[in-house]
Amino acid sequence: MKRVCWLVLLVALLGCGCARRYVITLHNGNTITALGKPRMEGGMCVFKDASGQWSSVPAGRVREIAPRSMAGGGDRPPLSKPRR
């Protein structure tokens, strides 16, 4: 039973690393959420968008590609309202 628990824990930990979301920031300030790491192919940034469809953006329009946890989110709304 103990081995099964360790195996389930290991599979869960490995699976969490694969389901990473990335944020693609364009030069005009727009952001795109990608499922999985985008890749460059022939001058295009190719990725799966939030709905699971394959999409591409010209590489010249891309300013930054970063994991969602590290993406610069200065324009994001705060998670909670400040106290008064």
Which candidate, 71, 70, 47, 73, places its Cα nearest to that of 58? 47
pLDDT above 90 for 10: no
Quote the pLDDT of residue 3. Answer: 81
Q: Can you say how many angstroms the Cα of residue 4 is from the centroid of all Cα atoms in its chain?
A: 31
This prediction's pTM = 0.62
Q: What are phi and psi of 80, to 5 degrees?
A: -140, 160
Full set of structural domains in the chain with CATH:
20-71 (2.30.30.100)
Residue 2's pLDDT band, with cuts at 50, 70 and 90, is: confident
Residue 15's pLDDT band, with cuts at 50, 70 and 90, is: low
| Residue 5 Cα distances to 13, 17, 18, angstroms | 12, 19, 21
